[in-house]
Each structure stands twice: as structure tokens, then as C-alpha cells.
Structure 1
Amino acid sequence: MSAESTGNQNPPALKSLDASLRLSVIPLSIATIWLTVTNKEHNPIYGDVNFTNLTGLKYMVFTSAICAGYASLAAIASFVRCFLTKAWLFFVSDQIVAYLTVTSGAAVMEILDLAYEGDQKITWSEACNSYGKFCSKMKVALILHALVLCCFIVLAAISAYRVFSPFDPPLSSKEVEDEDEPTT
């Protein structure tokens, strides 16, 4: 199928889904940032804990800020004409932001795992017994961050569709063999 036979490469439903996902990423990312930055707890025995004590949480805040900023710019840019010329830019950018979101989410998941379970081999005790409110807020922030990731996975698929749909699909090995055989 060629680009001419596919008709409209940007169906209205796909464009509205794209815009909706990009716009929903913004409040989710801002909520993740707010929950993480305001998350602190005092324990009279062990002292204070806040997001600046953990590099993984700072990385998630940084990534969430990138997600919110990029989603804002991309939502605005998607309504500007000449969308097909931006398809590759969206494709690459959506992929990069999705991977950043995966890595920051994985870092926070590891922190949460250590905070809840500890690591007895290296005498690291679980911290959530002493900092329950901090751990609960961190869990909610991680869930919001995971929702942002889900949005970017769908956005990456949409942008991949936009980039690659104008091209013919590759031939299977059976089709190549059929083309190579002489017709009798």
C-alpha cells in the first residue's frame, strides 16, 4: 500500500487521542512532581527524610518535569500545520521520553522495594516501618508516574504509526520467493 492509497494519514480520532494523551500527561507529571517534592517525614529516632535524600526521587522529579514540558510543547505543535514534517521528531522524542520515564520509574521502584523489604544481607533494614507516610506518598507518586509511562507508550505507538504508515509493508520470505520464481 502506498502513501497515495492510504488516504488521510492523520485521522481525526487519532489526532484527538494524541492530543488527549499529551494533555493528560501534564497534570499527571505535575502531580508526581508535587507529591515527590512535598514528601517529607520526621522520625524522632532516625531523623528527617525527604526527596532530596534519594537520588532516584530527584531523577523522577527531573524526568517528570521533562515529560510535562515536552507534552506541553508537543500538544501545541500538534495543532500547527505541516504535521507530517514533524512526524519523525515526535517519533524520536516520544521514544526518548518513554525510555526516560521507564528508567526513572525503575529507580523509584527499587527505592520502594528497599524501603519496604530492606536487604538483610547488607544489614539494610526496612525504612517504611519508621517512615510510613513518606513511603505511602512515594507509592502514589510512582503510580502517577506509571500512568505517564502508559500515556507515552501509546503516544510512541501513535507516532510510530504516523511515521511508518505511508510506506509499503516489507515482503515476507514467501512473497520474495514467489516474486523470484518465473511465471509459466
Structure 2
Amino acid sequence: MMGFLGSDVSNLQVLDFSLRLFVIPFNVASIWITVTNKQDNVFYGKLEFNNLVGLKYVVCISAISAGYALFAAVSSWLRFLVTKAWVFFVTDQVLAYLMVTSMAAQVEFLYLAYNGDQEISWSQACSTYGKFCNRLKLALALHVIAVCCFLMFAVISAYRVFRRFEPPYVPSKENGEQERT
């Protein structure tokens, strides 16, 4: 792998590149499981992804994130893009935030599916559509792994941007006390 990235590659760059490639299958698998998830019930009918607007947000964010991870991994080979650390910093921060919010939406959907909401007359669905809910839990587990990777990308890209700056000068108390006496 070092041959692809060049001879002056740091361990951080290799980690970043590897994680970006690592996250793509988790996003794709989460999307696939969610989109193909369906279950038919003789009493209540068919439940499938197309009927669930909230999950479309999760799938859309996962698809954008997977595409970006691939783009970022490929661009690590291109030196003129690697020097634009601030672009990756901003994009990594935004996508990490969007991945966390999409995970929260998926957790909320599963919570309602398992517990319902009696105040607005929503009954639980997982007792009736158990296979559907189990597949959504698997998709959520894969999504959580992807979220953790995107949080790591946010930290790595922040480090790359901010390591270029010197820390602010803060005079120590000892120096200040010696000057006063």
C-alpha cells in the first residue's frame, strides 16, 4: 500500500487511507439491508423500505458518506488534493455530524418500532414484523461502525489542519510573578 501513496507517507496517512476504504463496505451493506428490507403480514399487510420516509434520510446520508470516503481515499494518491487539508477538514466534520444525526434517526425509528407511542396511537410493530426489525438492527450496527469511522476522520483531518499552527503563547505564572517582584 505504501507504493500507491508514495515513499514519504506517514502512519497517519496510511491509517486514514485504510479507514476510508474500510468504511465503504459498512455503508454499502447498511444501505443494502435497509433498502431490501421487507416483511409481509397476513393481518397488517406488507412493510417495506419504500413506506418509511425517515429511513430514506439514513440511506441518503450513508450513500453520500460512502461516495465521499471513496473519493477521499482515491484523492490521497493525488498530491494536489492532499495539500488542501482544510477542504477535507470541513467535509469530514460535516459528514461526521450528518452520520451521527442519521444514526439518531435510525435509533429513534427502531425505538418507535419496538415501543410504539401510545399518546398518538402508534402501536409497536416489531412484535408483528420481527424479521423487519431484526434486519434494521443489523443495519444500525453496521451504521454505528461507519459513524465511528467518520468520527475518526473528523479527528484526523482536524489534526492535519491544526498541527500547522503554533500553540498560542501563554505566559507561565512563574514568569509573571518574577517580573512583578
Q: Same fold (TM over 0.5)?
A: yes
2:149 corresponds to 1:151: yes
The residue aligned with 1:25 is 23
Structure 1 residue 179: Cα displacement: 6.4
Written as runs of structure 1 = structure 2, the 5 A alignment for 1:54-69 is 54-69=52-67
Which residue identity does 1:98 align to in structure 2? A
Distance of 1:102 and 1:179 partners within structure 2? 45
Runs of at least 4 residues off by over 2 Å: 82-85, 174-184
Aligned AA (1:149): V
For residues 128 and 42 of structure 1, the distance between their equivalents in structure 2, rounded to whole angstroms, comes to 12
Q: Report how far residue 183 of structure 1 moved.
A: 7.6
Aligned to 1:3: none
- Is the 1:25–1:67 contact (alpha carbons within 8 Å) kept by the matching residues of 2? no
Q: Residues 135 and 178 from structure 1, CA distance in 2 versus in 1: closer, same or farther, beyond 3 angstroms?
A: same
Q: Which residue of 1 aligns with 2:77?
A: 79
SS at match of 1:34: helix
More divergent stretch after superposition (118-127 vs 139-148): 118-127
Give the structure 2 partner of residue 105 of structure 1.
Answer: 103
Do the aligned partners of 2:75 and 2:82 also contact (CA within 8 Å) in 1? no
Partner Cα distance (2:177, 2:80) in 1? 40
Q: TM-score, normalised by structure 1?
A: 0.87
State the 1:124 CA deviation: 1.4
**Aligned mates of 1:165, 1:171 — CA distance in 2:** 15
Code of the residue aligned with 2:115 in structure 1: it is E
Root-mean-square deviation (Å): 2.1
Q: Indicate the residue corresponding to 1:170 in structure 2.
A: 168
1:148 Cα deviation after fit? 0.6
**Could you tell me the percent identity over the aligned residues?**
55
Q: Secondary structure of the residue that 1:95 maps to in structure 2?
A: helix
The amino acid across from 1:28 in the alignment is F
Matching residue's letter, 2:19: L
Aligned residues: 174
State the distance in 2 between where 1:29 and 1:180 align: 56
- Tell me the residue number matched to 1:90: 88
Q: For 1:117 and 1:137, locate their aligned partners in 2 and report how far apart those are by CA, in whole Å.
A: 17
| Long gaps (5+) in structure 2 | 1-7
Distance 1:147 1:23 in 2: 13
Q: Kindly tell me: are residues 82 and 178 of structure 1, through their superposed partners in 2, closer, same or farther at Cα, counting changes over 3 Å?
A: farther
Partner Cα separation in structure 2 for residue 121 and residue 40 of structure 1? 27
Select the structure with the greater relative contact order (CA < 8 A; seq sep ≥ 6): 1
